[in-house]
Amino acid sequence: MANENMTGIPVHVSMIMDGNGRWAKERGKERVYGHFEGVESVRACVEAAVETGVKYLSLYAFSEENWNRPQAEVDTLMGLMVKAMANEMPALDKNGVRFMVIGNRERLSNDLNEVIDSCMAQTASNNVLTLIIFLSYSGKWDILQAAKRMAVEMLENPEKADDLLDMDINGFDRFLATAGIPDPDLIVRTSGECRLSNYLLWQGAYSELLFVDTLWPDFRKEEFRKAVEYYSKRDRRYGKVK
């Protein structure tokens, strides 16, 4: 959803949570140890988002490409998701957090899909913060599934074909997996990598980008506040002259 936010506080902050493996390696531990510690950073960022007045916090937790990792790491990560969602949900719900998962859910296990459905249903009417986990997600997958959904709508409703072909940029938003969610004002990537790794390609068209060296397990409240402060100093022009 188009979002020309001009205020100092971002409406939607998005994180590419990277560097868990390196964080563990630096400590002579298995990569998965970094993923476990990363859950603490998620908790800290949710709290910091609520405290700073951010309304949407989204987290890139697992990309479509991440399915190509060793099976043992994929299994551990999926198990961690089930556990973390079940554990964190009571506190999130109590604090007014609405929980959502966006991605190619056909590839997720039944266990995981069940816990996601139950967490989403339990928190659906909360409105302090919307927390979105991008899971089995990629930007190209999203654009492609949107195009397919549009094609299906056209085939099923030939009388609407002209309207659909006349559609503007904003009209396409409703087919995306992120329909109804404001585009991210700020995308932060941790661990020093300066790429989007197939993240919100459409929705991030005008996002401010921040790349920090901090590894995700070390990214806590202070780092979140600094990122919001960085954002508040940006001059967003959206192609216009000020």
Q: Which residues are catalytic?
A: 18, 66
* CA gap 180, 145 in Å, rounded: 16
Looking at residue 111, the DSSP 8-state letter turns out to be: H
Q: Which of 12, 13, 14, 18 binds ligand IPE (CB under 6 A)?
A: 18
Nearer to ligand IPE, 193 or 229 (CB): 193
222: three-class secondary structure by DSSP: helix
The number of residues making up the chain comes to 242
* CA gap 57, 117 in Å, rounded: 19
Residue 88 tokens, joined? 């964190």
6: three-class secondary structure by DSSP: coil
The stretch among 6-14, 15-23, 85-93, 159-167 that binds ligand IPE (CB under 6 A) is 15-23
Asked if 99 touches ligand IPE (CB under 6 A), the answer is: no
β-strand pairing of 208-211 with 186-189: parallel
Report which of 127, 133, 131, 116 is spatially closest to residue 49, judged by C-alpha positions. 131
Q: Are 20 and 37 in contact (CB under 8 A)?
A: yes
Q: Which of 5, 14, 20, 136 binds ligand IPE (CB under 6 A)?
A: 20
Q: Which of 95, 118, 126, 197 binds ligand IPE (CB under 6 A)?
A: 197
Residue 218 tokens, joined? 């070390």
Asked if 136 touches ligand IPE (CB under 6 A), the answer is: no
Residue showing the smallest CB distance to Mg ion in the complex: 18
Q: Which of 1, 9, 22, 174 binds ligand IPE (CB under 6 A)?
A: 22
Asked if 66 touches ligand IPE (CB under 6 A), the answer is: yes
Q: How far apart, in Å, are the Cα atoms of 24 and each of 28, 35, 75, 181, 232?
A: 6, 8, 18, 34, 32
Asked if 15 touches Mg ion (CB under 5 A), the answer is: no
* CA gap 64, 158 in Å, rounded: 33
Q: Which of 10, 21, 103, 184 binds ligand IPE (CB under 6 A)?
A: 21
Q: What are phi and psi of 168, to 5 degrees?
A: -95, 180
- Annotate each residue in 43-62 with x if it binds ligand IPE (CB under 6 A) or - if it does not, as one string: -----------------xxx
Asked if 75 touches ligand IPE (CB under 6 A), the answer is: no
Asked if 31 touches Mg ion (CB under 5 A), the answer is: no
Residue showing the smallest CB distance to ligand IPE in the complex: 21
Nearer to ligand IPE, 5 or 203 (CB): 203
Contact residues toward ligand IPE (CB under 6 A) are 16-22, 60-63, 66, 77, 191, 193, 195, 197, 216
